[in-house]
A and B are shown apart, each in its own frame.
Chain A
Amino acid sequence: MENVYSALMQALQLTIVVAGAPLLTGWVRTLKCWMQGRRTAGLLQPYRDLARLFSKDIVLAENASWIFRFAPYVVFGATLMAGAVIPLISFDLPLGATADIIALVALFATARFFLALAAMDTGTAFGGMGSSREMTVASLAEPAMLMSIFTVSLASQSTSLSQMAHVITSTPLVLRPSLAFALLAFILIAVAETGRVPVDNPATHLELTMIHEAMILEYSGRHLALIEWAGMMKLLLFSSIGIACFFPWGISGHGDPLMLPPAFVILAAKLALIGIFIVLVETGLAKMRLFRVPEFLGSAFLLATLGMLSFFILE
Chain B
Amino acid sequence: MTVSFAAQINSVLAALILLASFGLLVQRRIYGLLHIFAWQGLLLSISAAVVGYSAGLHHLYISAALTLSLKVIALPYILYVLIHRLKIHREVEEVVRIPTTMLIGIALVVFSYHLTAPITELSDLVTRSTLAVALATIMLGLLMMITRKKAVTQIIGFLAMENGLFFAATSATYGMPLVVELGVALDILIAAFIFGIFFFQIRTTFDTLDLKAMERLKEEE
Interface residues of A (CB under 8 A from B): 174-175, 177-178, 180-181, 294-295, 298-299, 302-303, 305-306, 309-310, 312-315
Contact = CB atoms under 8 A, between A and B. Distances in A.
Contacts of A313: 113, 129-130, 132-133
A298 B99 contact: yes
Contacts of A303: 19
Interface of B: 8-9, 11-12, 14-16, 18-19, 22, 26, 98-99, 102, 105-106, 109-110, 113, 129-130, 132-133
A133 to B, nearest CB: 19
A181 B9 CA distance: 15
Contacts of A181: 15, 19
Contacts of B22: 302, 306
A181 B15 CA distance: 9
By DSSP majority rule, is chain A's interface helix, strand, loop, or mixed?
helix
Nearest to A315: B11
A298 B106 CA distance: 12
A302 B102 contact: yes
Nearest to B113: A313
B129 A314 contact: yes
A96 to B, nearest CB: 31
Contacts of B133: 310, 313-314
B19 A306 contact: yes
B113 A314 contact: no
Nearest to A309: B109
17 contacts: A177-B14, A177-B16, A178-B15, A295-B99, A299-B102, A302-B22, A302-B102, A302-B105, A305-B106, A306-B106, A309-B110, A310-B11, A310-B18, A312-B113, A314-B11, A314-B130, A314-B133
Nearest to B120: A313
Contacts of A310: 11, 14-15, 18, 133
A309 B15 CA distance: 10
A299 B26 contact: yes
Contacts of B129: 313-315
Nearest to A184: B19
A313 B129 CA distance: 6
A117 B109 CA distance: 40
A241 to B, nearest CB: 23
A191 B10 CA distance: 31
B112 to A, nearest CB: 9
B102 A314 contact: no
B99 A306 contact: no
A180 B8 CA distance: 13
Most B Cβ at <10 Å: residue of A181, A303, A312, A314:
A314
Given A312-B113, A314-B133, A306 B102 contact: no
B172 to A, nearest CB: 14
B16 to A, nearest CB: 8
A163 B102 CA distance: 33
A294 B102 CA distance: 13
Given A175-B9, A177-B11, A302-B26, 4 more contacts: A299-B102, A302-B22, A314-B14, A314-B15
Contacts of B26: 299, 302
Contacts of B14: 177, 310, 314
Contacts of B110: 309
A313 B127 CA distance: 11
B46 to A, nearest CB: 14
Contacts of B15: 177-178, 180-181, 306, 310, 314
A178 B133 CA distance: 13
A313 B110 CA distance: 9
A288 B99 CA distance: 17
Nearest to B14: A314
Chain A to chain B: the 7 pairs with minimum beta-carbon distance, closest first: A177-B15, A314-B11, A175-B8, A313-B132, A310-B15, A177-B12, A298-B99
A298 B25 CA distance: 13
A303 B16 CA distance: 11
B8 A174 contact: yes
A303 B20 CA distance: 12
Nearest to B106: A305
Nearest to B9: A175
A53 to B, nearest CB: 41
B162 to A, nearest CB: 21
A11 to B, nearest CB: 42
A306 B8 contact: no
A178 B99 CA distance: 22
A178 B12 CA distance: 9
Given A298-B102, A313-B133, A180 B113 contact: no
Nearest to B8: A175
A312 B117 CA distance: 11
B101 to A, nearest CB: 10
B213 to A, nearest CB: 29
Most A Cβ at <10 Å: residue of B16, B98, B102:
B102
Nearest to A298: B99
